[in-house]
Structure 1
Amino acid sequence: MTTSDHVGQPPLTDPTGHAHRTDQANPSGHTDPTLYRTPADAIAAPPEKLAYLVGFDRSAQRPDALITVDTDPESSSYGRVLHMADVPGLGDELHHFGWNACSSALAHEGHHQPERRYLLTPGLRSSRLHVFDTHPDPARPRLVKVIEPAELADKAGYSRPHTLHCGPGGVLLSCLGGAHGNDGPGGVALLDHETFDVLRAWETDRGPQRLAYDVWWHLQHNIAVTSEWGTPSMVENGVDPELLLGRSYGHALHFWELDSGRHLQRLDLGDEHQMVLELRPAHDPAATWGFAGVVVSVADLSASVWRWQREDDGRFTARKVITIPAEPAKEDELPPALKPFGAVPPLVTDINLSVDDRWLYVSAWGTGELHQYDVSDPAHPRRTASVRLGGITARQPHPAAPGLPLTGGPQMVELSRDGRRVYLTNSLYGAWDDQFYPDGIHPWLAKLDADTENGGLTPDLRFFPHGEDFRGLRVHQTRLQGGDASSDSYCYR
């Protein structure tokens, strides 16, 4: 049975009056078994039995929620929503979220007894951060702390929190805007590993960086990488055609000294390549390469994936390794935003790299397609499979519901640690949803089974929660119990 909890503002201290610390929950000192020393250890670990999603109400009339779905194929409730835990306010737009600790915590200072236990869920519109505890019942997370926008603004100078990862020195939280929603610059806030209090801005010398989006790193090499979208005024109401055609959105990667927050290099991909979003560095901790997704080229509406790498002289370079062209379409089939172009842009809005660094997944939210590439040679990806679901004009149904045209398309893609299960959700961002799917986004979560030997994707007919299964909330990102391919980094080979 689906249940719903509405939890008010929790106390920020425990009953003794001391700040809440995660290490108090693990007095035995045993290492969390879901923190893996190597990628191979993560791949060999037991599969996830639960998935967590965030859902938001575009009308801001109902609370957003953290949603739990059963992913255990032996369970009688497989593929069903188990629980929905509401947040206290309205209009948060829960978007990206993440674990308080990942496998790299084994090499971080600041963790007394690291434990993958808490889910931190920022509100992209509210700038409020919610902390959920997955103990004692992982299927029913409890809201235990709320960090208000004023704390993020006053201590770090940021707003519009977007992506977070457990990192050296604290949890790194990327933010699109400056204090109180101003236009910045955006950047990265640093949170305490255990209390989740905002500490400060992570950057000590930002150099030319002004726009923000994702943040990741090459841990063993003391290198951080950030990407670019736009400031709050640039993204608040969707894609601004003048800004897009004026090539004003982000089109660069930035490389930093991870421990100090000092800017090292700006790498411009060229201003025709608008909105450099998701970053996926190699999981091999000795590697210094990764992939970045670019939403659209203003030259031809194509989308692309780029590979960055560190050269012998220490500088980073990047090269386009995947191009996905736009698809012609009849004007009367297109939403108003696309009628002048007579085509559907792929809109690559998420990518995901398997833990063994062999398979890359690319979401084309506009055309409604998920692409699988063999990247055994990362400089020369080879497409091995694709699946269509939804799409701006296609509305391709899921094979489990062949009579139901789907809205949205593969957007956030999450991959199990062993690479055999791919989870897809269909909402991107409320304002973009309205522009590209003006009839509305009806939520769905799909699971695909992946062939990790030869390539291939097959939709799971038993796993397709959708529509009112989520109380109509639009679902965005997915996180998996025990970690997943896009939220874990590793310390050892």
Structure 2
Amino acid sequence: MSTTTDPTFYRSPVEAIAAPPERLAYVVAFDRTGETPDALAVLDTDPDSADHGRVVGWAELPTKGDELHHFGWNACSSAFAHAGHHTDGLQRRYLLLPGLRSSKVHIYDTQPDPRQPRLVRTIGAAELAEKAGYSRPHTLHCGPDGVYLSCLGAANGDEGPGGIAVLDHDTFDVLRAWETDRGPQHMAYDAWWHLNQNTLITSEWGTPSMIEDGVVPELLLDNRYGHALHFWNLAEGRHEQRVDLGAQHQMVLELRPSHDPNATWGFVGVVISTEDLSASVWRWYRDGDRWAAEKVITIPAEPAPAEQLPPALQPFGAVPPLVTDIDLSVDDRFLYVSCWGTGELKQYDVSDPAHPRETASVRLGGIVAREPHPAAPGEPLSGGPQMVEVSRDGRRVYVTNSLYGSWDDQFYPDGVGAWLAKLDADQTGGLHLNENFFPRGQEFRGRRVHQVRLQGGDASSDSYCFAR
């Protein structure tokens, strides 16, 4: 077994930023109909390559109807904290692909040929339910005592409580449920941490039955989706504090802690307010010996003629921004906010995290606008910036356009298609669509595309052990 440290593990954010740029991107692609297998697509991101912006690898799952959604690496730079400074063979090598509908997890090896990932194991729904008591796996990160896999549902697959399953780092066996005392936590979504604070944070979406067939208007207007953050003792799996953002702030989703391991703050996005259809971003922070949260960004809804809106929005006469993803650059300088409803990607300078300042905005797609990409000016786009991923050096931003099959159909009833865009980011603020990188449509063989992972790591998949 090798004792050489994985070269894509970085002791600090500074090292990660200085590392070579990604040459490949991995993208999950799913078939909404469930008639053909979902797939892991590999894209060439090297601007000097003849295949730049094209799919150069394709691995289909052996099953159908999984609905690949979020996925991630088996290991990241946090391995310096839990595997010693000589990582003893632990490598950023395997991609774990949870199926949000099937509750299966397919594991692909990106070696020896990173363009041709190979399936090496499948974790079945029964193993996840029996050993951890969970279903509907959603997000994963490499953690202190295993791979942490957040799940939306309990073993029955329809209701909660959701929580975190722990997988063995090497064998990927399901070991147990992570929580030892969940306190008031019932709904689940994302999970991240402050390693140096011994703190894990979780957010809330809804139970599987609440999201399976789209937004349920009665549940939304009754403020029954998730609206809180939970703070836990990381070492003990014990719930310590619930911070309620207010019942009107529905669907508390993506968590993005500071990459500085000494910092005690981060951002979370909220999809919609039932008061005015606005979306928001909140900052959590340490306040003495407790945690607190405050709203730092509000994005208003945009008025629109009812006849241009899908049935779910016609009574309101407006397009909600629907902030469905956010991402924080590795240097903690810029926050990117995707507004899937209005079709907008916003960039904020968060050098002062308590007072974000908008520095750029790009329109692409949108429920009403259907703003085309400059590479295809005659093609109105469906969907909008949804999943957003930032390169380690902060110079490239990748966005895909699908949220979740049933929600796509609800808000874009004429179809979302499939596209992935790359934007170039200015180091002092500013965003520009890259006209040479716009894979779409049949490039993805009839599948919709969701999350992107970058070769060697990216802004949303690594935590670091040292500040410099």
Fold match (TM-score > 0.5):
yes
1:100 and 1:165 in contact (8 A); partners too: yes
Alignment counterpart, residue 279 of structure 1, candidates 246, 255, 261: 255
Give the secondary-structure state (helix, strand or coil) at the position aligned to 2:406: helix
Q: How does 1:374-453 map to 2 (within 5 A)?
A: 374-452=349-427
* Alignment-derived partner of residue 441 in structure 2: 467
* Alignment-derived partner of residue 359 in structure 1: 334
Number of aligned residue pairs: 465
1:149 and 1:180 in contact (8 A); partners too: no
Equivalent AA in structure 2 for residue 287 of structure 1: A
Distance 2:382 2:156 in 1: 33
Give the secondary-structure state (helix, strand or coil) at the position aligned to 2:263: coil
Q: After the TM superposition, list the runs of 4 or more consecutive aligned residues in structure 1 that deviate by more than 6 angstroms.
A: none
Tell me the CA shift for residue 113 of structure 1. 2.4
* Alignment-derived partner of residue 336 in structure 1: 311
Tell me the CA shift for residue 311 of structure 1. 1.0
Q: How does 1:60-459 map to 2 (within 5 A)?
A: 60-109=34-83, 112-312=88-288, 314-452=289-427, 454-459=428-433
**Any gaps of 5 or more consecutive residues in structure 2?**
none
Q: Once superposed, what is the RMSD of the aligned Cα atoms?
A: 0.8
**Any gaps of 5 or more consecutive residues in structure 1?**
1-26
Distance 1:191 1:76 in 2: 39
Give the secondary-structure state (helix, strand or coil) at the position aligned to 2:50: coil
Equivalent AA in structure 1 for residue 363 of structure 2: R
Distance 2:74 2:18 in 1: 22
Show CA shifts across 1:146-182 (max 9, x none): 0000000000000000000000100000000000303
Give the secondary-structure state (helix, strand or coil) at the position aligned to 2:156: helix
Distance 1:99 1:259 in 2: 22
Equivalent AA in structure 2 for residue 117 of structure 1: R
Distance 2:303 2:119 in 1: 46
Give the secondary-structure state (helix, strand or coil) at the position aligned to 2:449: strand
Tell me the CA shift for residue 109 of structure 1. 4.2
Alignment counterpart, residue 33 of structure 2, candidates 50, 55, 59: 59
Give the TM-score normalised by structure 1.
0.94
1:254 and 1:266 in contact (8 A); partners too: yes
Distance 2:414 2:156 in 1: 32
Equivalent AA in structure 1 for residue 18 of structure 2: A
Percent sequence identity is 73
Give the secondary-structure state (helix, strand or coil) at the position aligned to 1:410: coil
1:274 and 1:294 in contact (8 A); partners too: yes
Give the secondary-structure state (helix, strand or coil) at the position aligned to 1:340: helix
Give the secondary-structure state (helix, strand or coil) at the position aligned to 2:196: helix
Distance 1:215 1:362 in 2: 18
Give the TM-score normalised by structure 2.
0.99
Equivalent AA in structure 1 for residue 36 of structure 2: R
Tell me the CA shift for residue 441 of structure 1. 1.3
Give the secondary-structure state (helix, strand or coil) at the position aligned to 1:243: helix
Equivalent AA in structure 1 for residue 335 of structure 2: L
Tell me the CA shift for residue 112 of structure 1. 3.7
Tell me the CA shift for residue 30 of structure 1. 1.0
Equivalent AA in structure 2 for residue 284 of structure 1: D
2:2 and 2:89 in contact (8 A); partners too: no
